[in-house]
Structure 1
Amino acid sequence: MSTLAHTMMTTARSADSGLAGPGELDRYPYAEAPMADRVAAPAWEGADSDLGRVGRRAGGSRGRGLHGQLVQQLGQMIVSGDLGADRPLVPEEIGQRFEVSRTVVRESLRVLEAKGLVSARPNVGTRVRPVSDWNLLDPDIIEWRAFGPQRDDQRRELNELRWTIEPLAARLAAGHGREDVQQRLVDLVEILSHALAQGDALTFSRADAEFHGLLIQVAGNRMLDHLSGIVTAALQVSGGPATGCERPTEASVAQHARIVDGLGSGDGAVAEGAMRQLLTVHPEVERVVPAPREH
């Protein structure tokens, strides 16, 4: 068994990184530490020491098997700066270091190329691309940046992006009432309240992520709907306590409930105002956006 395969098996977690579907969250048996127990893969050894350093914190691969693990490790190394811009990536060397086939290396590099992290050109080979070429809205890159040296910038940028997207989504969602969605949002507020009372930060974060993702999906704007994955990624890797509201409090639960009330009554202004209040928790965000208006 290869080193990479061994790492993949030993770092598997009892609960995956996805969210429970509608109606399942309140009975989902969450693991105690979905982020904290992640283990980095073995470092590459040899003359190319910078090619041997993996990212500071390994995350669960969205792919399967060796291919997904290799994408994860190379992606983290690029985003962390361990593999700098214009660094050549030699497939034969990668295959030898990670003990994987040329097919696995080739497919992994294609995935990274689609994310804007590398480029492959005839007579030049595969090289790492500068950060200006990366797809910074890709959920994998969001996660890798969140656990690397760009963590603070990532958090600030995600919070600013959410502040731009979600108040509008809340306003629009108030005009697209669906009874099943409305009931699920009500249920999620109850789950948030119960999780807060129990001190269950993980359940709180999962419910929070589903709440915000669902809200964007029902806003009735297909372009906003495509951004729901970005918001979900932001909630999952926001840093510190893994919650979109940063700190589970009675006030944050109350704002969630106020959003639901606005949606139920079709009052977009109330829903939007409550969302702005909920999201304005970071000083760096407050510097670039106006204070929320009371309605």
Structure 2
Amino acid sequence: MSTLAHTMMTTARSADSGLAGPGELDRYSYADAPAGERAAATRSWDGAEAELGRVGRRGSASRGRGLHGQLVQQLGQMIVSGDLGADRPLVPEEIGQRFEVSRTVVRESLRVLEAKGLVSARPNVGTRVRPVSDWNLLDPDIIEWRAFGPQRDDQRRELGDLRWTIEPLAARLAAGHGREDLQQRLVDMVEIMGHALGQGDMITCARADAEFHALLIQAAGNRMLEHLSGIVSAALQVSGGPATACDRPSEASLALHARIVDALASGDSAGAESAMRQLLVGHHEAERVVPAPREH
């Protein structure tokens, strides 16, 4: 096995906890607040899922980011799921009390959510949840939150439509660029996937598959397409496609990846595009079974 394959398989098995130590907490003095204020803060969150009552329960968006990432994850999930509806006011003090985090953590988390289009902050109005039409639906975190929420079916269909548009075109363009460095890395990914399939290593297989598709878009030599590679990676992570391929070893799927690589090496644009379309049909069939949200 190549050094790259060994490194990737080793890395795939590592885990990030992302949990912060007690020293990071600069908590609100909730216990010292007047009883009326404490009651109001509690009532305002009564509609949220009980499961979301504490930061850091689940979600890949929070891994390795400590309290800040965990709060972004929780609030983002609550907004996307509809627990915090459009125009809902988000009072920093209430959030800090509810999730037992510092003012700094709340402030930075709301800034991240604002950048994603989920909330808006205005003078004399405060921070409020924005309607779906304002969300950055191409943001990888929002893609994942939608994929594991009430909008999961719509999200998966929309992602499939995007992939069908982006990836065959990328394969066609990549065949005309002759990027030997990227083509070698694509060969390495096929090697890793083949070895992982043989070992039943679903994690490594999924990561190699996601890397393969991201590299292919990069090889197209189109900067606007390359900007969309994060969407494809997010789609693979939430779709269950690569995991299903590894869970049910398929020589046909692996062969299609290899056919794409061969077509790129020979400059066969039509062959690369055709193989990619066949591969995406296989992913579509696998995605009919919707995976449960991943626990971390």
TM tier relative to shorter chain: 0.7 to 0.9
2:10 is matched with which residue? Answer: 28
Alpha-carbon distance in structure 2 between the residues aligned to 1:235 and 1:139:
11
Structure 1 position 257 matched with structure 2 position 244? no
Measured against aligned partners, the alpha-carbon deviations of 1:53-94 in whole angstroms (never above 9, x if no partner) come to 456972131662221111111001111111111111111100
**Percent of aligned positions that are identical:** 78
Alpha-carbon distance in structure 2 between the residues aligned to 1:27 and 1:58:
24
| 1:28 CA drift (Å) | 2.4
Structure 1 position 109 matched with structure 2 position 113? no
1:65 is matched with which residue? Answer: 66
| 1:123 CA drift (Å) | 2.0
The question of whether the paired residues in 1 share the 8 Å contact of 2:68 and 2:109 is answered with yes
Alpha-carbon distance in structure 1 between the residues aligned to 2:4 and 2:110:
35
| 1:205 CA drift (Å) | 0.7
Measured against aligned partners, the alpha-carbon deviations of 1:145-185 in whole angstroms (never above 9, x if no partner) come to 11111111111111110110000000111111122222221
SS at match of 1:177: coil
Residue ranges of structure 1 left out of the alignment (5+ in a row): 1-20, 35-44, 286-295
1:50 aligned to which of 43, 47, 52? 47
Larger radius of gyration: 2
SS at match of 1:127: strand
> Quick check: 232-241 or 261-270, which moved more?
232-241
Q: After the TM superposition, which residues 115-154 of structure 1 pair with which residues of structure 2 at under 5 Å, given as runs? A: 115-154=116-155
Distance 1:22 1:85, change over 3 A: farther
SS at match of 1:50: coil
Alpha-carbon distance in structure 1 between the residues aligned to 2:141 and 2:277:
27
Measured against aligned partners, the alpha-carbon deviations of 1:232-290 in whole angstroms (never above 9, x if no partner) come to 111111147636899651111111011001000011110000000100133699xxxxx
Distance 1:158 1:181, change over 3 A: same
Distance 1:23 1:175, change over 3 A: farther
The question of whether the paired residues in 2 share the 8 Å contact of 1:55 and 1:80 is answered with no
The question of whether the paired residues in 2 share the 8 Å contact of 1:167 and 1:273 is answered with yes
SS at match of 1:144: helix
Alpha-carbon distance in structure 2 between the residues aligned to 1:201 and 1:86:
41
Measured against aligned partners, the alpha-carbon deviations of 1:132-153 in whole angstroms (never above 9, x if no partner) come to 1110100110111111111111
Question: Normalising by the residue count of structure 1, what TM-score does the alignment of the two structures yield?
Answer: 0.78
Alpha-carbon distance in structure 2 between the residues aligned to 1:153 and 1:244:
22
- Aligned CA RMSD, in angstroms, stands at 2.9
Q: Amino acid of the residue matched to residue 171 of structure 1?
A: R
1:99 is matched with which residue? Answer: 100
1:204 is matched with which residue? Answer: 205
Q: After the TM superposition, which residues 5-44 of structure 1 pair with which residues of structure 2 at under 5 Å, given as runs? A: 26-31=8-13
SS at match of 2:236: helix
Alpha-carbon distance in structure 2 between the residues aligned to 1:184 and 1:284:
26
1:86 is matched with which residue? Answer: 87
| 1:23 CA drift (Å) | 6.0
The answer to which structure has the higher helix fraction is: 2
Distance 1:180 1:237, change over 3 A: same
